[in-house]
Amino acid sequence: MNKSCWKFDEEDKALYIDWEEDTQDEQSSKVFSCWDRIPDILLEQIFSYLSIRERYYASLVCRSWYRAFKLQNVWSTFTLGDTTLTRGKFNYYSGWQYVLDHIRTSTCLNKVGKNFRNLVFEPMLNFYNLYEFMNMISWYTERQGSDNTSVAGVGVNIRRLKFTFPCNMANRNDPDRIRLFGTGGKLLEALKRLMRNLKNLRSLELIDLMLDSKEALHLMDDICENCTQTLSKLILINTTRYYCPLLHVGVFLNLNVLVISPQNLHEDVIELLGHTKLEHLHILQNQYSPKDMTVKLPKRASWIKMRSNNPYIKVHFEIESHKSSDVLLPIDLFEHSDVPCHSIVIDNPNTQILPSWIITHGSFFDSTIRIYAFKGITRYYLHKNFSKRLDEALVQFCKMCPNLHTLMIRDKISTSTILEIVSTAKFLRCLYVRRNVVLKRCDGDWLKVSCWTPEHYQWIKKNSRSYDDTEREVSKILGYRWHMLSEKEFRKQKINLHI
């Protein structure tokens, strides 16, 4: 009788197949690979890229891969999604649904739960699965093997917790529509219970919780009690929907990176941060952040006091949105000119940048700013006329900011402007431009607005005729092989703000 088995195809449908056994001569003539002899350090890296189901299938290959399935670094990052550790259950009103399989989850935590280092909760629409999993992790952490159903070590080694709430409940087929709802109730209680039990956290990320002010005031009480000296990175993006200062962020003495939304800042918060070891303060605004005039940054006096107590702190302003109305952070440039602004990053491809904004930023943050970036692929019309482009404003910005290190340009500029930028910004080391929107020309308007020497004009005129000549000259000035980026490269480019 031929051997047979069940197999799953690409659509996860079960197929019943059979196969014929090889003869002894055929088996002796076969040449097998040495994949079962891969070192553990490589197997851990390979398995870490696979999903839980793919890891299970890979563990069935051989004994070596079965042993690698339980290695520590394979499970260092555990990500919970809508279908993670679930089973199908039929509902008469909603049809088939994915519900958390408690037996499978319990087996997972017993076997590999002690290897978790990073616990990530993706935006989930099945709140029941999210609630149940957080309670199970908390239960294992509290028990620590005190009974026959739990094991010791679960949750003890978790160093990073990331929780993202799907606050936008609008129709997924209509991305421009936004309907905001905040977390709360039993789900918030489960999250606070989990944070209370994770006493060795180094990094905490809470994104888009949209809490009420009363709930937000006591959100981090347990974290402050357990991780006052251990927490080094804290991300609080849209913890509340409306203005509500969070004084908890100022009690973490060894905090190195803080990412917070403008509606959660206050003069007292800034003063407290001045007495910590904080190095990077990111003020981030995304498409769900409030845009009304009631949200303003703390006043000038608090920033001056913070700089006197902590002269090494660097402030980063960031925008992440796709709405054309979301342009700038709530900065009153006359009131906040003493902010130690280290970088400004705007990722809003639907909003056209005006030259006046660039000149204003350069005027008020000229001595501190080092990174200036406009990310994303533009979705508006780009003029070819020199007077309607940003070339002159960008060169003027480089003249006003002598410490500029990184510049990212998404709008249309010419090759002559690129050469002028790198020759003006003496400390510029990273320049990102889109090749598809770069004009191959030497703009004659530069002679009207700049005082170029004949030698400088001839140098730009000669090397702006082709992309290769421009890239060669820029490479000489920057000190490495530089090239213009394709659309894919520009879209995936990541900027290091901590320089």
Q: Which of 224-228, 259-263, 293-297 has the lowest mean pLDDT?
A: 293-297
d(Cα 109, Cα 98) in Å, to the nearest integer? 19
**Confidence band of 374 (pLDDT split at 50, 70, 90):** very high
Q: Which of 134-143, 283-292, 339-348, 386-395 has the lowest mean pLDDT?
A: 283-292
Whether 149 has a pLDDT exceeding 90, the answer reads no
Task: List the Cα angle 412/388/497 in 5-degree steps.
Answer: 45
Q: Which of 485, 385, 359, 384 lies closest to 433, judged by CA? A: 485
Residues 230-252, mean pLDDT to the nearest whole number: 92
Whether 173 has a pLDDT exceeding 60, the answer reads no
d(Cα 327, Cα 341) in Å, to the nearest integer? 18
Span 398-438, pLDDT tens digits: 999 999 999 999 999 999 999 999 999 999 999 999 999 99
Rama region for 95: left / alpha / beta (φ>0; ψ in -120 to 50; rest)? left
Span 220-236, pLDDT tens digits: 998 998 899 899 999 99
Q: Above pLDDT 70, what percent of the chain? A: 88
What one-character DSSP code corresponds to residue 211?
B
So where are the chain's domains? 340-498
Using DSSP bridges, classify how beta strands 341-347 and 371-374 pair: parallel, antiparallel or unpaired.
Answer: parallel
Q: Which of 307-316, 323-332, 439-448, 476-485 has the lowest mean pLDDT?
A: 323-332
Q: What pLDDT is recorded for position 92?
A: 79
| Distances in whole angstroms, Cα of residue 319 to Cα of each of 284, 375, 401, 427 | 6, 10, 21, 25
Contact at 8 Å (CB) between 370 and 396? Answer: no
Whether 139 has a pLDDT exceeding 90, the answer reads yes
Q: What pLDDT is recorded for position 15?
A: 64
**Confidence band of 1 (pLDDT split at 50, 70, 90):** very low
Q: What pLDDT is recorded for position 27?
A: 60
Contacts of 395 (CB under 8 A, 6+ apart): 417, 420, 421, 424, 450
Which tokens go with 49?
């890229």
Whether 472 has a pLDDT exceeding 90, the answer reads yes
DSSP conformation letters of 84-101: TTEEEEEETTTEEEEEE-
Whether 73 has a pLDDT exceeding 60, the answer reads yes
**Confidence band of 265 (pLDDT split at 50, 70, 90):** very high
Residues 385-390, mean pLDDT to the nearest whole number: 92
For residue 79, the surrounding DSSP H or E stretch is strand 77-80
Whether 33 has a pLDDT exceeding 90, the answer reads no
Contact at 8 Å (CB) between 355 and 319? Answer: no
- The more confidently predicted of residues 465 and 24 is 465
d(Cα 238, Cα 264) in Å, to the nearest integer? 8
Largest CA distance in the chain: 91
Span 102-116, pLDDT tens digits: 999 999 999 888 999
Q: What pLDDT is recorded for position 18?
A: 59
With respect to CATH, is domain 340-498 assigned 3.80.10?
yes
Whether 386 has a pLDDT exceeding 60, the answer reads yes
Q: What pLDDT is recorded for position 352?
A: 87
* Distance, C-alpha 267 to centroid of its chain: 27
What's the number of CA atoms in the CB half-sphere (13 Å) around residue 407? 28
Q: Which of 231, 232, 236 lies closest to 246, judged by CA? A: 236
Q: Which of 4-8, 35-39, 458-462 has the lowest mean pLDDT?
A: 4-8
Whether 380 has a pLDDT exceeding 60, the answer reads yes
Contact at 8 Å (CB) between 39 and 73? Answer: no
Span 321-341, pLDDT tens digits: 876 655 566 677 667 778 899
Average pLDDT, the chain: 87
Span 306-326, pLDDT tens digits: 999 999 999 999 988 876 655
Using DSSP bridges, classify how beta strands 95-100 and 118-121 pair: parallel, antiparallel or unpaired.
Answer: unpaired
